Amino acid sequence: MKKIIIIGSGIGGSGIGALIANYNKAEVTLFEKNNILGGRCGSYIKKDDQGRKWLFDVGCHTMATCDKGPLGTILEKIGKKDSVKWSYTRNPEPSQNFMGMEIREKKKTKTKRISKRIRLIDEIVKMSDEEIEKWNYFSLQEFFNEKLGSSHVIQTLIHSLQAGICFGNLPTEISAGEYLKSIKINALIMNHGSPVGGGYPMGGCGVIPETYCQCITENDGNIIMGKDGNVRKIIIKDNEVKGVEAGPDKKFYEADIIISNSDIKTTVLNLVGEKFFSKEYVKYIKDLKWGLQVCTLKLGIDKVITDQKHITYVPPINQEDGMEQALAWIAEGMSEIDLSEIEVPETSTLLIIPVSNHDPSLAPKGCQNIHTTTPTSFGKIMNWDKKSDEKWRKCCLNSLISLWPDLEDHIIISDFFSTNILSARFGKEGVGIGISQSKDQAFEKRPSQISPIKGLFYCSADAGGWGIGTELAAESALELWEYFQSKQWK
Ligand SMILES: Cc1cc2nc3c(=O)[nH]c(=O)nc-3n(C[C@H](O)[C@H](O)[C@H](O)COP(=O)(O)OP(=O)(O)OC[C@H]3O[C@@H](n4cnc5c(N)ncnc54)[C@H](O)[C@@H]3O)c2cc1C
């Protein structure tokens, strides 16, 4: 039997691990350096002062196509479709609170502006796959310019916001094809007007990678976590993988195939080392662009403050010139901004998922569990210091307070992952997703999952795949699995 080592239990790592283990023709060992499974899609429990349990997600709070998309496909392929129950974002549908205007994702809507926006979604749904593919290597901004011109600033802004949440990037960068394909599929199979309004797995997002990992152990695979699961080096000889060194004692584990779910830059530059690759390949890896960095605040509150399941929130901008500036900024594709001058703002755009409205068991009775994510960079990787981390926490809180003024009086527990914490614990310099799905890095232009070293593969939101967040990583696993079936085990 081939010995397969997987580095990392994120959706990509646990997904490919489950697919291989379920096939039962290889010996799978998965290493995870954290004490929880799932990476950015993991969940963990925190206890409040009364000893009550709250389930918090590391990052991901909503899944676009739930059981009907690639996350569900993996579950189905490993025979665990029924192990995960889903709450779709319905009753109420996703809403957008946009500078004080409440916009609900309903198909029939009264206001003119919004019905125009829905019509754009309808138009996208009617586009053929070939028409959409033509946009793969153009930016969303270019698509908006052609479809909406410069007169629909608000509509452009709202779509840009949605796309930013889905793909963690700016409209000037995001591949229009990624957005169009995802929005079309989501609208068709989830019957939503929003590509991010999918749903939530009961029990928390971590249920998905945990179920994948369960499949690995049920099929005699091995999972090594925590300090012992920290892979320090991938050993290469004669351009072929030999195994890994892991844990404090740098114990050697032999492997015929190594699949890295650790980020692609760390894998190449640190775990393997530059000297094992050509100069061109090292340059290519170094030049790959990340998506936006993020931070995430989770709050447990002692009352039910909202009935919503999914809110995209843009706080009001008070000064008139601020509003004009913001709109002009988006309309011009954010090109005029000097990124080195950006300070931590007082308030910011948030994706808010009150997860206990999906699954009431995630908060004590009568309480609410609210998760938020906000971007902390805009097109350039930022090195935020510790003081800035605290400012970002305040920024998230201020934004929530501007939506619910008495919120602060009701907080009983909270947790905050700054960009620095995300980077230190889960890599990728603290970006939300991974290697950006920009027009020059999407679809055929994504990094290949097959490395130049024999037996070394990448499987994550950094290589291969397409789609939104977790689904990009799940697609990466499905694509690699297809490759293995056709090439490795033929
Ligand atoms: C705050 C936040 C909010 C998000 N919201 C959403 C959302 O609402 N919807 C959505 O679909 N997506 C969301 N995402 C994105 C989504 O979570 C990611 O795109 C996806 O989970 C990435 O999966 P991955 O397979 O690339 O691996 P990752 O999740 O990046 O996991 C990689 C794993 O590898 C491990 N690892 C790394 N190096 C080593 C090593 N040397 N040894 C052992 N283990 C190692 C890490 O510890 C980690 O567990 C969000 C992300 C964040 C951060």
Measured distance between the N- and C-terminal CA atoms of the chain, rounded to whole angstroms = 14
pLDDT tens digit sequence for 366-404: 999 999 999 998 778 999 998 999 999 999 999 999 999
CA of 35 to the centre of ligand 1 (A): 14
User: What local confidence, expressed as pLDDT, does residue 187 receive?
Assistant: 86
Is residue 61 pLDDT above 90, yes or no?
no
Least confident window among 11-15, 46-50, 378-382: 378-382
Q: How confident is the model at residue 109 (pLDDT cuts 50, 70, 90)?
A: very low
8 or 193: which leads in pLDDT: 8
Pick the residue whose CA is nearest to atom 12 on ligand 1: 469
Residues 240-291: pLDDT tens digits? 999 999 999 999 999 999 999 999 999 999 999 999 999 999 999 999 999 9
The answer, yes or no, to whether residue 134 has pLDDT greater than 90, is yes
Q: Which amino acid is at 226?
A: G
Closest ligand 1 atom, residue 36 Cα? 49
Given a cut of 80, is residue 490 above it in pLDDT? no
Enter the tokens of residue 13: 């790592």
Closest by CA position to 140, among listed 168, 180, 105: 180
Contact present, 273 and 21 (Cβ < 8 Å): no
Task: Walk me through the domains of the chain, giving residue ranges and CATH numbers.
Answer: 2-47+59-85+203-288+436-488 (3.50.50.60), 87-202+291-429 (3.90.660.50)
pLDDT single digits (tens) 316-351: 765 554 555 555 555 555 555 555 566 888 999 899
pLDDT score, position 316: 77
* pLDDT band, very low/low/confident/very high, at 100 (cuts 50, 70, 90): low
Name the band, by pLDDT with cuts 50, 70 and 90, for residue 194: low
Q: In whole angstroms, what is the distance from residue 470 CA to residue 350 CA? A: 18
**Residues enclosing ligand 1, CB less than 6 A?**
7-13, 31-34, 39-41, 59-63, 229-231, 261-262, 294, 296, 373, 422, 426-428, 432-434, 460-461, 468-473
Parallel, antiparallel or unpaired: strands 251-254 and 368-375? unpaired
Ligand 1 pocket test, candidate residues 40, 208, 470, most atoms within 8 A of CB: 40
Whether 198 and 66 have beta carbons less than 8 Å apart is answered as: yes
> Would the pLDDT of 446 be above 80?
yes
The whole-number average pLDDT for the span 131-143 is: 96
- Dump pLDDT digits (tens) for 239-252: 999 999 999 999 99
Q: Which atom of ligand 1 is nearest the CA belonging to 472?
A: 19
Across the strands, what pairs with 314? 98
Q: Please give the mean pLDDT across all residues of the chain.
A: 90
Distance from the alpha carbon of residue 40 to the mean position of ligand 1, in angstroms: 3
Using the mean position of ligand 1's atoms as its centre, give its distance from the Cα of residue 452 in Å.
Answer: 24
| Token pair listed for 42 | 């993991």
Cα–Cα distance for residue pair 31/452, rounded to 1 Å = 22
Stretch 130-135: mean pLDDT: 98
pLDDT at residue 236 is higher than 80: yes
Q: Is the pLDDT at 203 greater than 90, yes or no?
A: yes
Q: What is the pLDDT of residues 69-81, one digit of tens each?
A: 999 999 999 999 9
111 Cα to the center of ligand 1, angstroms = 39
The pLDDT of residue 282 is: 98
Signed CA dihedral, 140, 146, 148, 152: sign only? positive
148: which residues sit within 8 A by CB, 6+ positions away? 120, 155, 156
Q: What is the dihedral of CA 198, 330, 291, 349, to 10 degrees?
A: -60
Could you read off the pLDDT of 462-482 as tens digits, one per residue?
999 999 999 999 999 999 999
Among 433, 436, 472, 481, which residue has the most ligand 1 atoms within 8 Å of its CB, making it the best to mutate? 433
Distance CA 86, CA 431 (A): 26
Lowest mean pLDDT segment, chosen from 115-119, 230-234, 314-318, 366-370: 115-119
